[in-house]
Amino acid sequence: MKACSFFGHRNITVTQPLIDELKRLIEDLIKNNDFGVFYFGEFGQFDDICYQVVTELKNIYPHIQRVYISPDEKSLSKHKIKCDKEYEFQTIFALKFNWWYQRIYYRNVSIIDNSDYVIFFVAKNIESGAYKAMQYATKNKKEYLNIIEYI
């Protein structure tokens, strides 16, 4: 199965057209493109809405897996204890660089490297972690869609 991940700004305006387009896009990935693994970092409203859409689709496609990717072992342990969301797996990807203040960025890089497709919600004029992740995906020729351009 192929893997998809999500990156977006922490604070966004959630609209019904955004939810509808996410649902259409993710369902197409599942039905027509053999996607079944969805990676989450869980830092903001875009991650939350993507999680909700994937969870709703899991009722229709029970084989799909929601995977939480932690930036480090300590965060993973805390997340397992405090998590109010259900994931089929919670894990850590090996980081290319591991200075404490850059763990989130390099965790995002690892998620992108392990994804077959990435869905972004990024305003190109806002310098953010999501924007940096999209720059990384572009530089590394990762297949992606910036959904903000379609709603």
CB 40 within 8 A of CB 48: no
DSSP letters of 53-69? HHHHHHTT-TT-EEEEE
The stretches of the chain forming alpha helices (DSSP H) are 16-33, 45-58, 73-82, 103-113, 129-139
pLDDT in tens, 112-147: 999 999 999 999 777 888 999 999 999 999 999 999
pLDDT of residue 97: 61
In tens, the pLDDT along 16-59 reads 999 999 999 999 999 999 999 999 987 789 999 999 999 999 99
pTM: 0.89
Name the token pair of 5.
């991940």
Which of the following CATH numbers is that of domain 2-149: 3.40.50.450, 3.40.30.10, 3.30.540.10, 3.50.50.60?
3.40.50.450
CA 140 to chain centre: 17
> For residue 115, how many other CB atoms are within 10 A of its CB?
23
Tokens 């869905």 correspond to what residue? 119
Look up residue 100 and give its two tokens.
Answer: 């404490």
Structure tokens at 137: 């995906």
